[in-house]
Amino acid sequence: MATPQPDSLPLKGRRILVCRPQPEADRLASRFCDAGADARVMPLIAREPLPEDPATRTLILNLDEFAHVIAVSPYAAALLLDWLDEWWPQTPTGIHWYGVGAGTATVLSNYGLETRQPETGHTSEDLLQLPELATLNHEKVLVVRGQEGRELIPQTLERRGARVTVLPLYRRFCPDYDKATLNAMLNDFSPEAIVTLSGETLNNLIALSDNTGHNLENTLLVVPVERIAEQARLAGLRRTCIPGSLADSSIVAAVAGQLASLDGGSGNTK
């Protein structure tokens, strides 16, 4: 592969902090580095599978009773497939599989499952626009997610007539960083842009910034949707950037465009 030339590095010298979970954080940071940035990683969400219990095992063994199975994240989808490998030598048939966003759908599709995903967008709201989920006359739906999560999908599908079961397969938590690490990442490094792709990540960042005295007001925050941008504004943070998609290339391009716009004095970060 040819080495990028300096004039083809849109983020040359820019300081970017990636706060995604691993392994996504390292992968995205690598793409930023390819664009010339000084990209560092400080995940503000960590994940771990929940211990196996009889209730989870029963739901997996009865998976063929569900008409629809929805995975809300790539991590949820991957854990579900681990369970399928363990308990289903042959994948149950007759199920409609769904991924919230392209990344989640890809995990299921790569396993050989015919997977539906939003035609545009990557949110729960976008998924709920699918015609297959419009009217659910007592059909059983399994929503695979983390221990805590938005209730939009279960509540909406129940209103549409579905019998919804939520299957939590993992928990999320904020990693514990010592004060020296936080000062190095936030104050010494002083990132120009920080990638915060969930409301929980943004809340953790704000709390840690308050604890270290770091001012986020002049930092570009990369957020996934308008709902999280509004959350940032309510916290007094108005420099937000919403990529066209959550693909690594889209995130990098959006940051490059927004930082260039700020350099030009437009101040337009939306």
Same domain, 35 and 89: no
Q: Residue 249 maps to which CATH number?
A: 3.40.50.10090
Q: Are residues 55 and 152 in the same domain?
A: yes
Residues 183 and 162 in one domain: no
Q: Which residue has the tokens 């966003």?
A: 101
Beta bridge partners of 49: 170
Please choose, from the candidates 104, 129, 126, the residue with its C-alpha nearest in 3D space to the C-alpha of residue 115: 104
Are residue 65 and residue 54 in the same domain, yes or no? yes
Does residue 268 lie in a domain region? no
Q: What is the pLDDT of residues 126-179, one digit of tens each?
A: 999 999 999 999 999 999 999 988 899 999 999 999 999 999 999 999 999 999
Pairing relation of β-strands 163-173 and 46-49?
Answer: antiparallel
pTM: 0.86
Distance CA 99, CA 259 (A): 32
pLDDT tens-digit map of 27-50: 999 999 999 999 999 999 999 999
d(CA 106, CA 101): 9
Q: Quick check: 126 and 105 in contact, CB under 8 A?
A: no
Does 125 map to a domain?
Answer: yes
Residues 166 and 52 in one domain: yes
Task: Report pLDDT for 267.
Answer: 41
Residue 28 covered by a domain: yes
Question: Could you say which residues of the chain have pLDDT below 50?
Answer: 1-6, 266-270
pLDDT of res. 262: 80
| Strand ranges, E, within 96-210 | 96-99, 115-116, 140-146, 163-173, 193-195
CA separation, residue 111 to residues 68, 81, 175 (Å): 17, 8, 31
% residues pLDDT > 90 (the chain)? 84
Boundary residue ending a domain (116, 151, 172): 172
| Together in a domain, 210 and 256 | yes
**Residue 231 falls within a domain, yes or no?**
yes
- Domain count across the chain: 2
> Within this chain, do residues 88 and 204 fall inside the same structural domain, yes or no?
no
Say if 168 falls within a structural domain: yes
Within this chain, do residues 70 and 127 fall inside the same structural domain, yes or no? yes
Q: Which structure tokens are listed for 95?
A: 């199920």
DSSP helix/strand/coil, 168: strand
Specify whether 54 is located in the same domain as 37. no
Beta bridge mates, 171: 48
The three-state secondary structure class of 66 is coil
Distance CA 204, CA 192 (A): 18
Same domain? For 68 and 131 the reply is yes
Q: How far is the C-alpha of 217 from the C-alpha of 124, rounded, in Å?
A: 29
> What is the domain extent for residue 21?
6-45+175-263
104 and 186 together in one domain: no
pLDDT in the model for residue 88:
95
State how far the Cα of 248 lies from the Cα of 28, in Å rounded to an integer. 6
**116, part of any domain:** yes
Tell me which of 126, 155, 172 is where a domain ends. 172
The one-letter amino acid code at 183 reads N
